[in-house]
Structure 1
Amino acid sequence: MSMHVRSRKTLLTAAALAAGLSLAAVTPALAGTGASHAARPAAVSGAQGDPRNVTQRVADFYGAYIDSVWSDQDPAAAADAKALRAFYLTSAAQKKVAAYEAKEHADGILFAQNVPVKWKVVYTGSGAGHATSRVTLTWSDGTGAEVTSIDVQSDLRTLKISDLKPVG
Structure 2
Amino acid sequence: MTGTAEFAVARLGPGDLPRFRAMNTLFGAAFDDRENYAANPPDDAYADALLARAETVLLVAEGEGKMVGALAAYVLPKFEQARSEVYIYDLAVAESCRRRGVATALIEALRRIAREIGAWMVYVQADTAPEDEPARALYGKLGTREEVLHFDIAP
- Report the TM-score when normalising by structure 1: 0.28
Larger proportion of helix: 1
Structure with the larger RCO, 1 or 2 (CA within 8 Å, 6+ apart): 2
Larger proportion of strand: 2
- Report the TM-score when normalising by structure 2: 0.30
Whose radius of gyration is greater, 1 or 2? 1
